[in-house]
């Protein structure tokens, strides 16, 4: 871009789209963390699909009874439905990143806020699945214990109810901390790199 191009852009009152060479290099330097985010999204999408398929075969692998089988697949269908909703959103987010060309400050800002929005969406996704994971775990343990000779399902006393309640709360807190760590490790640190580029551009 030479001086005449910059002058023409100024005259057309589109100065927010003008990018001088030094700034263009800084903006394009955000491509590196952006590529890492895209790679992590692609890998994680694949791993999560495989995990869901594996979960669908758990009743077959552990020989669930017909009654438990029906309950399992009822919960599993709801689980898959929620996953499909969020996976669709993440897929379109991935496509937006793939089609992106960082050449202006505006595109850099939009990309950063899109990443931050989807990071929060990811956390929401994790929390939405947490109750299902707890129910799956409880059901799996029940099936395994029911195979023990002399096992009988009886009414819960107060201590057992408090114990179950404590375990559920612990699992929710653990998932919250784990999600924060996971999102920050795989996406947050790269979003910070993009934010630092934005801050450098603001200072000029």
One DSSP character per residue, 61-116 reads HTT--HHHHHHHHHHHHHHHHHHHHHHHHHHHHHHHHHT----SHHHHHHHHHHHH
pLDDT digits (tens, 9 = 90+) for 167-202: 788 888 888 899 999 999 989 988 998 888 888 777
- CA nearest 144: which of 78, 59, 75, 54? 59
What confidence score (pLDDT) does residue 8 get? 54
Q: What is the number of structural domains in the chain? A: 1
- Residue 17 lies inside a defined structural domain of this protein: no
What confidence score (pLDDT) does residue 64 get? 76
> Which residue range(s) make up the domain with 123?
28-199
- Residue 15 lies inside a defined structural domain of this protein: no
HSE (CB half, 13 Å, CA atoms) of 139? 21
- Residue 45 lies inside a defined structural domain of this protein: yes
Beta-carbon contacts of residue 13 (< 8 Å; ≥ 6 apart): none
- Residue 4 lies inside a defined structural domain of this protein: no
- Residue 48 lies inside a defined structural domain of this protein: yes
* Cα 151-157-163 angle, rounded to 5 deg: 90
Average pLDDT, rounded, for the chain: 79
What sections of the chain are H helices per DSSP?
Answer: 3-11, 21-28, 31-56, 58-61, 66-98, 105-146, 158-183, 189-202
CA distances from 100 to 148, 197, 202 (A): 57, 17, 22
- Residue 22 lies inside a defined structural domain of this protein: no
**Own/partner pairs for 200-203, CB < 8 Å, 24+ apart?**
200/26, 201/23, 201/26, 201/27, 201/105, 201/108
- Residue 16 lies inside a defined structural domain of this protein: no
Residue numbers of the chain with a pLDDT score lower than 70: 1-24, 26-29, 144-157, 160, 203-204
Cα 201 to its chain centre, rounded Å, is: 29
What confidence score (pLDDT) does residue 134 get? 83
- Residue 66 lies inside a defined structural domain of this protein: yes
HSE (CB half, 13 Å, CA atoms) of 155? 2
> How far apart are the C-alpha atoms of 124 and 6, rounded to whole Å?
44
What confidence score (pLDDT) does residue 28 get? 67
- Fill in the DSSP letter of residue 188: I
What confidence score (pLDDT) does residue 167 get? 78
């Amino acid at each position: 871009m030479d001086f005449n191009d910059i002058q023409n852009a100024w005259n057309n009152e589109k100065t927010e789209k003008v990018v001088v060479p030094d700034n263009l290099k800084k903006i394009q330097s955000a491509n590196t963390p952006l590529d890492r985010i895209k790679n992590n999204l692609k890998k994680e999408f694949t791993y999560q699909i495989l995990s869901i398929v594996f979960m669908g075969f758990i009743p077959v692998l552990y020989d669930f009874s017909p009654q438990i089988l029906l309950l399992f697949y009822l919960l599993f269908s709801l689980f898959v439905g929620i996953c499909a909703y969020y996976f669709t959103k993440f897929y379109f987010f991935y496509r937006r990143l793939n089609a992106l060309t960082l050449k202006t400050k505006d595109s850099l800002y939009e990309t950063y806020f899109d990443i931050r929005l989807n990071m929060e969406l990811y956390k929401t996704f994790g929390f939405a699945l947490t109750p299902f994971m707890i129910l799956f775990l409880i059901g799996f343990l029940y099936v395994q214990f029911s195979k023990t000779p002399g096992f009988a399902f009886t009414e819960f006393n107060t201590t057992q109810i408090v114990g179950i309640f404590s375990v559920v709360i612990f699992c929710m807190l653990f998932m919250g901390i784990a999600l924060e760590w996971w999102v920050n490790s795989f996406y947050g640190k790269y979003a910070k790199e993009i934010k630092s580029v934005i801050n450098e551009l603001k200072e000029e």
